[in-house]
Every structure is written in structure tokens, then in C-alpha cells.
């Protein structure tokens, strides 16, 4: 006879709908604008002054824009190679920058890293031109023709995950953003904004490499502005005055 093995006393009680870290939230559109404007300003200042760090500033700006525009995890971002940049068959004009092949996705426990291809979406096409500039113009100036890494240092090595984290923390402080925000929050922003743009749930799930839709739902937190617009449209649709009422 089958017997019950799970009881209240030997299972974990899920008391809240969301049990992730409260500090991990999407950046608002204003925060993203402030972040990217600050990064671009740093590149311009370094380039105009002739200082040595102009290339590094350009690289770091593109790193964070790529993290957001493709919704990548930190390790996925760090492990990207130039060969992982692929065309998008639906948009030939983007060339080899229309998608990113992720080879070091988060593994299932005990398994190998999962692979996926993240397609660029038109709402984030501004990141493609920046990627082209980095790969074709800036990166060669580091003198690393044979190095596979997409993000390279002045010492001809792959940029470390520690550098990404430290650099984001510095820029976040300089831009006056919430100190609770982390580099991973750019991924939360990507999921949230794809939902706000109206992309199907399954598409979003495949883009970010989640095994379960419930995980994607945890990441998504639509903005108040989006909710206000949606409610306003619904009110206008339901309570719109009829022709007879207008007379």
C-alpha cells in the first residue's frame, strides 16, 4: 500500500509567493538611462583627454549594455568568445551581431553547462552598433588577434568576473543609483522589459535559458508606468462612451 511520506513537519513551508532576494529588482528605464549615459560620458572624457583608459572604458560600457540587451548571466557574459557572435537569419543587416551563442549557461545540478542562442530583439538594436564598434575597431587595438575572448584586458587576458562586479559597483555609485542593485539586476531588467514589450512567455523563457516558466515569472516585475498604461487602456476599452451616450 502506498503511504504518504511528505507531511507538514518534514517539508519546507513556502510562506511567500516570491522568496528571492528583495534587493534584486529590475532597473527602471530612468536608472538604465542614467547608467548608460554615465558610461558613455566616461568614454568621451577619456578619449578627449587622450588618457590611457579610453579603450577599457569603451569595453566596460559595451559589457554592461550587452548584459542588458541579451539578458545574460554574469558568468555567461564573462565567458563569451568572439566566435559566439552569430547572425540572426531574420535580420541580415545586423551581420554577425544578430545573436549570441551562450555555451556556459547555468547547468542543472550535476550536469554540464547548458547551451542556447539568444536572438537580438529590435527594441535593443542600439546595442548591436556598439558591439560592432568594439569588435571591429576597439578590440584590435589591444593587440590580441589570436585570443578567443570577446572581452580582453590590456594584459592580453580575458576580463575576470571580479572585474565586472567591481566595475559595476563603481559605476553604480558614480551614477547615484541604488546601492542594492547588482550586475545581475540587468538580467532582471531584460526579462521585465521583454514582458512589457509584449513578447510571449515561452519566447522570454527560451531567451534567458530558464528550464521552468515559474523561474521566468520570478524575474519579471513590470513597472508601475506599464501597469498604469495597461489599466488606462482597459478602462478606456470597457468604459468608453457609446455613440448613444455621446448624443
50 against 148, higher pLDDT: 148
The residue assigned the cell 534584486 is: 24
Q: Give dist(CA 166, CA 164) in Å, integer.
A: 6
CA proximity to 221, closest of 75, 24, 79 = 24
CA proximity to 189, closest of 102, 64, 99 = 64
Residue 76 has pLDDT above 70, yes or no: yes
Looking at residue 77, its pLDDT comes to 96
Query: The domain 21-186 is classified under which CATH number: 3.30.930.10, 1.10.443.10, 1.10.630.10, 2.60.40.1180?
Result: 1.10.443.10
Can you spell out the DSSP letters for the chain?
Answer: -------GGGS----SS--S-TT--PPPHHHHHHHHHHHHHHHHHHHHHT-TTHHHHHHHHHHHHHHHHHT--HHHHHT-BGGGEE--TT-GGGGGGSEEEEEEEPPPTTSPPEEEEEEP-GGGTHHHHHHHHIIIIIGGGG--TT--BSSB-TTSSBPPHHHHHHHHHHHHHHTT--TT--TTHHHHHHHHHHHHHT--HHHHHHHHT-SSHHHHHHH----HHHHHHHHHHHHHHHHPPPHHHH-
**Residues ≥6 apart with Cβ < 8 Å to 152:** 59, 139, 142, 144, 158, 159
Q: Tell me: the pLDDT tens digits for 80-129?
A: 999 999 999 889 999 999 999 999 998 877 778 899 999 999 999 999 99
The ranges assigned to domains in the chain are: 21-186
Q: What does pTM read for this prediction?
A: 0.81
Looking at residue 7, its pLDDT comes to 55
Q: Give dist(CA 21, CA 105) in Å, integer.
A: 21
189 against 7, higher pLDDT: 189
Lowest mean pLDDT across 3-12, 44-53, 86-95, 216-225: 3-12
Order of strands across the sheet with 114-119? 85-86, 99-105, 114-119
Query: From the CA atom positions of the chain, what is the Rg in Å?
Result: 22
Amino acid at each position: 500500500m502506498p503511504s504518504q511520506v511528505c507531511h507538514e513537519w518534514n517539508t519546507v513551508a513556502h510562506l511567500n509567493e516570491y522568496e528571492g532576494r528583495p534587493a534584486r529588482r529590475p532597473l527602471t528605464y530612468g536608472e538604465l538611462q542614467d547608467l548608460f549615459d554615465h558610461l558613455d560620458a566616461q568614454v568621451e572624457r577619456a578619449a578627449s583627454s587622450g588618457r590611457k583608459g579610453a579603450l577599457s572604458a569603451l569595453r566596460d560600457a559595451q559589457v554592461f549594455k550587452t548584459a542588458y540587451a541579451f539578458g545574460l548571466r554574469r558568468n555567461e557574459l564573462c565567458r563569451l568568445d568572439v566566435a559566439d557572435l552569430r547572425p540572426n537569419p531574420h535580420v541580415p543587416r545586423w551581420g554577425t551581431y544578430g545573436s549570441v551563442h551562450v555555451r556556459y549557461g547555468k547547468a542543472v545540478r550535476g550536469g554540464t553547462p547548458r547551451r542556447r542562442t539568444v536572438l537580438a530583439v529590435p527594441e535593443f538594436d542600439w546595442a548591436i552598433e556598439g558591439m560592432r564598434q568594439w569588435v571591429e575597431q576597439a578590440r584590435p587595438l589591444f593587440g590580441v588577434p589570436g585570443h578567443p575572448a570577446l572581452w580582453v584586458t590590456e594584459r592580453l587576458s580575458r576580463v575576470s568576473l571580479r572585474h565586472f562586479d567591481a566595475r559595476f559597483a563603481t559605476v553604480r555609485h558614480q551614477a547615484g543609483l541604488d546601492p542594492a542593485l547588482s550586475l545581475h539586476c540587468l538580467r532582471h531588467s531584460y526579462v521585465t522589459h521583454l514582458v512589457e514589450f509584449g513578447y510571449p512567455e515561452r519566447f522570454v523563457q527560451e531567451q534567458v535559458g530558464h528550464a521552468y516558466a515559474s523561474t521566468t515569472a520570478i524575474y519579471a516585475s513590470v513597472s508601475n508606468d506599464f501597469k498604469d498604461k495597461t489599466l488606462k487602456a482597459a478602462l478606456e476599452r470597457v468604459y468608453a462612451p457609446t455613440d448613444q451616450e455621446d448624443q
